[in-house]
Amino acid sequence: MDHQRRAKIVCTIGPASCTSQQLDQLMDAGMDVARLNFSHGTHEDHRLAIEAIRAVSERRRKAIAILGDLCGPKIRLGKLGTPSRVIPVGAVVELFSGTQTDDERLPVRYATLETDVKPGDHIHIDDARVRLRVENVQDKSVFCVVEEAGQIRDNVGVHLPSGELQISALTEKDKQDLMFCLSNGVDYIAVSFVRSPDDVRFVRDICEAWGAVLPIVSKIETPQAIERLEEIVRVSDAVMVARGDLGVEFPPEHVPVLQRKVIAEAARFRRPVIVATEMLQSMVKSSRPTRAEASDVAHAIFDGADATMLSQESASGDHPALAVSMMARIVHTAENSPYYARRSIAPAQSPVAFGDAMAKVAVQAAHDVGAKVIAVFTQSGDSARLVSMERPSMPIVAFSPSEGIRRRLGLNWGITARVMLAVRDTDEMVEQVQRRLLSEGFVQPGDRIVVVFGAPVSVKGRTNSIRVHTVGP
């Protein structure tokens, strides 16, 4: 029974979605990956969220990956002293370098603010929802005129277009947050504002020194990342099209083209890609998306995204579960339309790597024999991920003895992950796969399945065998 949506849904967890009851609702609605945004909340908040996610996941027997999203060297407002503030057009506002304020001034978490801007510069706040023009700089204050009004709140992003940031790729806060993630069993690390492959290597070195090999998601949101896209994708485990800051760094009309460029490059290197930011933004308050938002989600699916992401919609919106459910429906409808093409993209390297070749042969065999399912026995997850990148028309069910691997596969297109303990030989493995697929309604007696595995089955990293099997009674 082909009963699954292929592209996955990443949900940001926040005040509107962190309790067990709320997480239950998100899982019912279609959440596959839970994102913790370290731009907001305390370590205690995130620790409680992790405990709740793991508890609900275990009770429901659904593997949910947790993505820890580091802030990166993004400049942000400090604490305003009020929950939010509306600044009107024409008002003059005073910015200063600091972490909090008790008056009307706006604190900016950037030590050299007054030296890095000049009169005439534009400063964008909260993904350009608010735009300021610098009038003058006096002592340690920057005075600006509001050109586009809006509501601001604590910790939203501030974009300074006047030059390079004078801070490292991984801030001290990022290092503390990374240590927290490594200590609390997070499944993926997302690195913000990646500008070079060295940024990714730096984070990987820290993880390895800690004794953890965590997959790294590189967020593509700077001009430097676009310029060095191939190098960055090559050293990453996954990428994210972070359209909020892309839309500030580039004219809005360029963002859809850049989105498609990143998705295509990720496919060449067999890396999963997440499309993020403002996908269903109106559902922060509304119970329905706009038609344009529905089209935006569908076009991300048509472009080949592995996952789409909800940010404020699920973290602090009025309808978190409804937003997830709506995204799931849009994705499912797009995937089942006649306009959805599963394009095969040639790998970046030639000759083709052994794993890529095995995945391609498995998918071709499954199509040739009319298989109902491709079953992959995997200890590292790599074989299942490579099969996913071939975009087969039938479900992929990955069996692994590792709970961590099953969780990580929650990000990959088309994969349903299931537990299978270590087996002694191939025949026992195929028998267990058949029994599980029958019990869950994926197949019926007489159906064909393609099984991908390594021989001997107990050796990691040895995927070298494909078997076409007819399901018995």
Q: 270 in helix, strand or coil?
A: coil
- Domain 354-470, CATH 3.40.1010.20 — does that match? no
User: What CATH superfamily is the domain 75-159?
Assistant: PK beta-barrel domain-like (2.40.33.10)
In the prediction, which pLDDT does 164 show? 55
Q: Which residues are catalytic?
A: 35, 76, 219, 277
Burial 30-52 (b: 16+ CB within 10 A, else e): bbbbbbbbbbbbeeeebeebbeb
In the prediction, which pLDDT does 1 show? 40
- Kindly list the domain boundaries of the chain, sorted by start residue: 8-72+168-335, 75-159, 354-470
pLDDT less than 50: residues of the chain:
1-2, 162
Q: Which tens digits make up the pLDDT trace of 318-359?
A: 999 999 999 999 999 999 999 998 777 778 777 788 888 999
Q: Residue 177 class from Cβ within 10 Å (0-12 exposed, 13-18 middle, 19+ buried)?
A: buried
CA angle 429/431/433 to nearest 5° reads 70
Crossing angle (nearest 10°) for helices 291-303 and 320-335? 50
Which pTM does this prediction carry?
0.88
- Domain 8-72+168-335, CATH 3.20.20.60 — does that match? yes
Which of left, alpha, beta for 132 (phi over 0: left; psi -120 to 50: alpha)?
beta
In the prediction, which pLDDT does 130 show? 93
CA nearest neighbour of 279 among 307, 251, 321, 304: 307
